[in-house]
Amino acid sequence: MIKMMLQTQPSKRYNRISRHRINLDAFRKNINRTESVRGSMIYGPVSHFDAKAILRYYNFNAIQSKRSILDSIQSSYDSVVTSLKPKYSNENSILSRVSPNVKITPSIPSVVKKRIQELERLADGWNSYSAKAINNEAIRMGISVLVQISSGLGSQLLDSVFIAPCSDGGIQLEWELDLKEFILKIEPDGQKMFYLLANPPKEEIEGIINSMTQLKTMLREFLIS
Amino acid sequence: MSDEQTETIANRNFEITDQFLRRIPPWHLKPDGGISSAAFQNDDGTDMMSVNWLKLSSVEHTLCGPGLIGFGVASISAGLCYSLNQNPVYSPDIDNKAHCDIVGHKTKTISRIFSKQANYLRYPVAPP
């Protein structure tokens, strides 16, 4: 499988349009350790139409060699990895144009990784009362949830998440958007999840998460309502 | 305050204006300056959240002890507790006569209201 990485680097060749250029060699070196590659991972097969939407999403519509990039992706590449910042704030509308058989999985941003490492170091009694150390299962589930929800809802949720340690050894994923707030509590064993949705002036709602589909639906509504 | 005095007030109901102090770990400080509702959860395996009664304590007293670098202190009123069906109970320790428990199941909504309505007398400092 041939993969391609689009990364942000200064380029005289494309100086008219942007700082972006394609670096195939760099990605090939990383092909077996993709976790070190920053940004989104996009798994194929990527059609011409998919590629167009993806490249537009990643602000590639101005690149001179767009035609050749699109052709290359369509004919030769079944997977694309990019580390570019999205141009459009309304990610969903852009990404929804990509066919369902293309899975887009943003990797975890370094700031989130750093936060997770911080929480992993917390020992029993970290809150000065009787809190338990954060359970690895809760952290594992938290990462899994972040990756899964971001694959359908764009990187906004990854970039804005706050991860709070809980006194029982679980964690909370928290998002705030204007006056709205969504809290996802992951139990220490990583098996159960609870949510709180605050969307003033409506009454706060809380309950249990039964499936990832339910969570994605709730977060989608949280983002757009 | 003498031991006799603290014993006498042990059984009293708190006035709605009474204040309780809760330490806030630096890990609950959000990048935007807000405090996570996770700072107001019950102690693990109990239905109680430990606090200090302000009448017998202070910010300095609450933050006195090892390993509290970067911790903040929040103040919540007995009135707020009562309005959320939480019951403040005086429960002095041998080494802390100001110790109280806020007793009651804390839903996520209740924890969130505590975090939003608490008065932060000292803000936690984000870990380096």
Cβ atoms of A167 and A129 closer than 8 Å:
yes
Kindly state whether residues A101 and A131 are assigned to the same domain: no
pLDDT at residue A164, as a whole number: 97
Q: 10 Å Cβ neighbour count for B12?
A: 9
**Greater model confidence, A158 or A74:** A158
Q: Looking at residue B122, what is its pLDDT?
A: 96
Any B CB within 8 A of A147 CB: no
Which pair of structure tokens corresponds to residue A151?
């694959």
Cβ–Cβ of A168/B71 closer than 8 Å?
no
Residues A144 and A157 in one domain: yes
pLDDT of B82 reads 94
Burial environment of residue B121 by CB neighbours within 10 A (0 to 12, 13 to 18, 19 or more): middle
DSSP A109-177: PHHHHHHHHHHHTPPTTTTSSSPPPPPHHHHHHHHHHHHHHHHHH-THHHHH-EEEE-TTS-EEEEEEE
> Residue holding tokens 């959320």?
B84
Least confident of A36-40, A116-120, B43-47: A36-40
Evaluated on CA atoms A126, A127, A128, A129, the torsion sign reads: negative
Is residue B106 predicted with pLDDT exceeding 50? yes
Choose from A114, A120, A163, A166 for mutation: most chain B CBs within 10 A. A166
pLDDT (0 to 100) of residue B114: 97
Q: In terms of domains, do A91 and A140 share one? A: no
**A53: confidence class by pLDDT, cuts 50, 70, 90:** low
Instruction: Tell me the one-letter amino acid at A60.
Output: F
Q: How many domains does chain A have?
A: 2
Best B36, B64, B95 residue to mutate vs chain A (most A CBs within 10 Å):
B36
Residue B127 pLDDT grade (very low, low, confident, very high; cuts 50, 70, 90): confident
The A residues from 189 to 208 touching B (CB cutoff 8 Å) are: 194-196, 198, 204, 206
Q: In what order do the strands lie in the sheet with A20-22?
A: A20-22, A3-8, A79-82, A40-43, A103-106
For residue range B48-94, what is the model confidence (pLDDT) as tens digits?
999 999 999 999 999 998 889 999 999 999 999 999 999 999 999 99
A100 and A118 housed in the same domain: no
Residues A128 and A218 in one domain: yes
The pLDDT confidence band at residue A105, using thresholds 50, 70 and 90, is low
Q: What's residue A5's pLDDT?
A: 38
CA distance B10 to chain A (A): 22
Domain that holds residue A25: 3-106
Structure tokens at A176: 């705030």
User: Between the CA of residue A7 and those of A58, B24, B29, what are the distances in Å?
Assistant: 11, 41, 33
Determine contact: B116 vs chain A, CB below 8 A. no
Residue ending a domain, choose from A58, A88, A106 = A106
- What residues of B are in contact with residue A169 (Cβ under 8 Å)? 44
- Lowest-pLDDT range of A3-7, A91-95, A117-121: A3-7
pLDDT of residue A74: 39
B91 touching chain A per CB within 8 A: no
Q: Do A204 and B43 touch (CB under 8 A)?
A: no
Which helix (DSSP H) or strand (DSSP E) does residue A183 occupy? strand A180-186
The ranges assigned to domains in chain B are: 3-122
A and B: number of Cβ contacts within 8 A: 72
Structure confidence at residue A54 (pLDDT): 54
| Among the ranges given (A76-80, A100-104, A198-202, B76-80), the one the predictor scored with the smallest mean pLDDT | A76-80
CATH number of the domain at A172, please.
3.10.450
My answer on whether A220 and A114 are in the same domain is yes
Looking at chain B, the whole-number percentage of residues with pLDDT higher than 90 is 82
User: Does A52 lie in the same domain as A126?
Assistant: no
A127 shares contact with chain B (CB less than 8 Å) = yes
Q: Do A99 and A121 belong to one domain? A: no
The rounded mean pLDDT for chain B is 90
Q: Confidence band (pLDDT; 50, 70, 90) for A208?
A: very high
Band of pLDDT at residue B2, cut at 50, 70 and 90: low
- A14 has pLDDT over 70: no
Nearest residue on chain A to B52, alpha-carbon basis:
A129
Measure CA B95 to chain center. Answer: 17
**Which position has the higher pLDDT, B46 or A156?**
B46
Q: Which helix (H) or strand (E) holds A25?
A: helix A24-29
Looking at residue A110, what is its pLDDT? 83
Min Cα distance B94 → chain A (Å) is: 16
Across the interface, which of A128, A195, A196 has its CB nearest the CB of B67?
A128
Q: Is the pLDDT of residue A147 over 90?
A: no
A102/A130 same-domain check: no
What confidence score (pLDDT) does residue A52 get?
53
Question: Domain check: are A101 and A134 in the same one?
Answer: no
Quick one: pLDDT at residue A1?
A: 31
Return phi, psi of residue A39, to 5°. 105, -160
